[in-house]
Chain A
Amino acid sequence: MKCDIILAGVGGQGILSIAATIGLAAVEQNLFLKQAEVHGMSQRGGDVQSHLRLSDSEIFSDLIPHGGADLIISVEPMEALRYLPWLSENGWLVTNSVPFVNISNYPEAGEVLAELDKAGNTIVLDADSIARDLGSTRSGNMVILGAASSFISMPFSALEDAVRKMFSRKGEEVVEVNLKALRAGRDAAAAR
């Protein structure tokens, strides 16, 4: 088993919280894991990505080869498209549909969605409004993770346990809302 994931977004959107959740779960599942992050200059509103590799045997490269990713998880629609060179032929792309516009020449939102449509195996969902309906605007990342969960090679309960661990320090209320977000994402993706 191997599962190579590209996480994408804009600096400050918190893609590393998704990475950390999957990482926690992977350790509990006794999987090998490598996760390359971006720190430094691009964190200031630039495009950021993380290569996350899971396997039941030794992993060599910290970076995923081009055309090798099983999954792209993105919290921003244009950023999802930036990493198509890494996606494998049968790979899946799961992304938030809400644009993060901090540049003056951001393309038309409709064109971005059309381009995502062309990409094949995609799940595009408005994670922000799903999170808002749950009463927590800040758990959009967990909605996206939930939507991608069926493509990550581990039981859903392992991700739930990881969410509990991740947020336990912030109290039961925060844990519950993030678990709800995770499940809502899973259900929204399954409904497609």
Chain B
Amino acid sequence: MHKLLLLGDEAIAQAALDAGLSGMYAYPGTPSTEIMEYIQASPQAAADGVHREWSSNEKTAMEAALGMSYAGKRAMVAMKHVGLNVAADAFINSAVTGVNGGLVVVSADDPSMHSSQNEQDSRFYGRFAMVPVMEPRNQQEAYDMIFEAFALSERYRLPVLFRITTRLAHSRSSVARRDRIAQSSVSMPSDPRRFILLPAIARRQYRALAEAYEKLYTDDAVDGLNRLKTGNGRGTGVIACGIAYNYLMENIADRAGDYHVLSVGAYPLNREKVAALVDNCDRVLVLEEGYPIIEEQLRGLLDRDVKVLGRMDGTVPRDGELNPSIVATALGLKAGQGREVPLLVRQRPPSFCKGCGHADMYQALTEVMAEAGQGRVFADIGCYTLGALPPYNIVNSCVDMGASVTMAIGAADAGLFPAVAVIGDSTFTHSGMTGLLDAVIKNSPITVIISDNYTTGMTGGQKSQATDRLENICLGLGVDPDHLKVIVPLRKNHEENKAVIRNELNYHGISVILARRECIQTASRSKKARAAEKDKSKE
């Protein structure tokens, strides 16, 4: 079949469609966003009637996917690594209920934090939930493994965690497709009670889960993805997880026989295979993107049986993503070296787009906060976090989705006044609404600014669940209509906007300001699209 040039994310999406996917569920988050975007744009998905709407957050996405699986069809859910924290309750328990139709959970990790708050390792969640984890090495394998993941999920009746990292997600290569599998039809689980996690049932299910997990170590569908290549003589063994294998081969392709290599593509990792490697070597270097998970298991608590090298002893840096040079150094080889970066090269941090509404909102807020002379602004996850950088320097926090509202509540409880929350429209419907309900119930003296640009901006302009609903949501949660204000953040409204913000900051109760103007990026895109449409109709 014709080869496609695909991002890792797109390979996963195309594979799921070809493997008979019936429902795709996700909330945007770098580096996972393109999976859903690809499926939404796919004519194949449209023709097959695949469900592919964004969800409000990763938890609702995970639960909807589990529901589709319950009804017997194949479902996939995708998120960035920190999204799995949001979905964790549903994810962990989906291992206990088990699945019916195949269920694949894609979690895209971001080591080096290119666009993230931490570099947590999703493989950890796989062990925690006791589900199989797959970690493809390249785009073709990402495509092929999705087929294996759905099959394994249905055979074990377990969700499969599909772990990728930024470099695979956002790197393009050619991918050959397989024959398509038709969608499944609706069928109820054979055991009607296992999805009811009452204690008596949950205990039974949990025991079964623990037994199944033990079988996974040696099941060929897992173990077959882990390849052991024995080298000549004793010497160094290398365990290379996922794309770390590529960095290894970049360095040793012409002398691969000098090393014993275990290339890992799935977990849990067969103990016999690790033993076969370790028994042949004087020392073992562990290369993994993210946390030293396999390394720590290999060392054990006592760390005295095997000579292990990796992130924990400094052979590999403790944090940050791997690259060919880091791996060369870890192998004791000479890493390539280019020239120094000239001193005059300056940092170029991200900044607000020219004409961005967030910027006008911050200009007004910054001036009003300066008048107040005290108080703090708690922000959230999105483009508007850039208010932390010059010229504004007004943002004091960015922690997790929705934390602006609730941190402002706590700080106000402690006596801070004014306490201001700045949150985007999509982040608000993701995780800000419950916090606002808390604020309404105790009438917290905080001001919540929802900077509404009608989109999920930072990830590239996906549909926002909040669009045209914010007034109703806020009033429904019980915000006083007299303290629900709408401003349009434009230069010409500057003084007027400052007056609104000033009034609400001075009010000793909960108030919400909707600062509303379309994202400059989506606005220019839709303008172009309209112009193109016009040209077409002329022809």
Chain A contacts to B: CB under 8 angstroms: 10-12, 23, 27, 32-47, 51, 59-69, 78-79, 81-82, 84-88, 102-103, 105-107, 111-112, 115, 119
B249 within 8 A of A: yes
Closest residue on chain B to residue A87 by CB atoms: B338
State the interface size on chain B (CB cutoff 8 A).
50
A113-B463 Cα distance, complex, nearest whole Å: 43
Give the Cβ gap from B294 to chain A, nearest Cβ, in Å: 20
From 445 to 469 in chain B, residues with beta carbon under 8 angstroms from any chain A beta carbon are: 458-460
List B contacts of A35 (CB < 8 A). Answer: 171-173
A36-B34 in contact (CB<8A): no
What is the total of A-B residue contacts with beta carbons within 8 Å?
A: 155
In the complex, the answer to whether A11 meets B344 with C-beta atoms within 8 Å is: no
A78 touching B346, Cβ below 8 Å: yes
Q: Say yes or no for B93: interface residue by CB 8 A criterion.
A: no
| B232 at interface, CB cutoff 8 A | no
Give Cα A38 to B460, complex, Å: 12
Is the pair B328, A41 in contact by a Cβ cutoff of 8 Å? no
Question: Considering the complex of A and B, which 10 residue pairs feature the smallest CB-CB distances, nearest first?
Answer: A40-B115, A40-B30, A67-B336, A65-B324, A46-B350, A44-B350, A61-B250, A85-B338, A62-B171, A36-B171
B243 touches A45 (CB 8 A): no
User: Which of A41, A43, A81 makes the CB contact (< 8 A) with B342?
Assistant: A81
User: Is B325 in contact with A65, judged by CB distance below 8 angstroms?
Assistant: yes
Q: Which residues of B contact A64 (CB under 8 A)?
A: 324
Provided the pairs A33-B174, A39-B30 are in contact, do residues A66 and B335 lie with their beta carbons within 8 angstroms? Answer: yes
Kindly state the separation between the CA atoms of A40 and B167 in the bound complex, as whole angstroms.
Answer: 13
Instruction: Tell me which residues across on chain A come within 8 A of B342, comparing CB atoms.
Output: 81, 84, 115
Q: How far is the CB of A137 from chain B (nearest CB, A)?
A: 16
Contact A37 B335 (CB under 8 A): no
Q: Flag if A37 contacts B328 (CB, 8 Å).
A: no
Bound together, the chains give a CA A16 to CA B160 distance in angstroms of 33
Which residue, A11, A63, A69, has most C-beta atoms of chain B within 10 A? A63
Per a CB cutoff under 8 Å, which of B250, B338, B345 touches A88? B338
Q: 20 A-B contacts, Cβ less than 8 Å apart?
A: A35-B172, A36-B167, A37-B7, A41-B30, A41-B114, A45-B350, A45-B351, A45-B352, A61-B323, A62-B168, A62-B243, A63-B167, A63-B323, A66-B335, A68-B338, A82-B341, A82-B345, A102-B348, A115-B344, A119-B339
Q: Which of A33, A102, A107 contacts B173 (CB 8 A)?
A: A33
Cβ contact of B174, chosen from A12, A27, A82, cutoff 8 A: A27
B contact residues around A45 at 8 Å (CB): 348, 350-353
Given contacts A34-B173, A65-B328, A106-B346, 5 further A-B pairs with CB under 8 A are A40-B459, A41-B114, A43-B350, A69-B338, A81-B342
Interchain CA distance A13-B5 in the complex, whole Å: 23
Interface residues of B (CB under 8 A from A): 3, 5, 7, 30-31, 33-34, 114-115, 167-168, 170-174, 243, 245-247, 249-250, 253, 323-325, 328, 335-342, 344-353, 383, 386, 458-460
Contact B353 A44 (CB under 8 A): yes
Closest to B249 in A: A60
Chain A residues, CB < 8 A from B324: 61, 63-66, 68
**A23 touching B5 by the CB < 8 A rule?**
yes
A66 to B327, CA, bound (A): 12
Query: Known contacts being A62-B167, A87-B338, is A34 close to B323, with CB within 8 Å?
Result: no
Q: In the complex, what distance in Å separates the CA atom of A72 from the CA atom of B261?
A: 33
Whether A66 contacts B337 by the Cβ 8 Å rule is yes
Tell me which of B3, B337, B350 contacts A42 (CB under 8 A).
B350
- Chain A residue numbers with a CB within 8 Å of B328 are 65
Selected contact of B247 from candidates A61, A85, A88, A105, CB within 8 Å = A61
Give every chain B residue within 8 A of A44 (Cβ-Cβ). Answer: 350-353, 383, 386, 458
Please measure, in the bound complex, the distance between the C-alpha atom of A23 and the C-alpha atom of B7, giving whole angstroms: 12
Evaluate whether A66 and B172 lie within 8 angstroms (CB atoms) in the complex, with A45-B348, A60-B253, A82-B345 already known. no
Q: Are A60 and B246 in contact (CB under 8 A)?
A: yes
Chain A residue at smallest Cβ distance from B535 = A171
Query: A81 near B345 (CB under 8 angstroms)?
Result: yes
Q: How far is the CA of A122 from the CA of B421 in the complex (A)?
A: 50
CB neighbours (8 Å) of A87 from chain B are 338-339
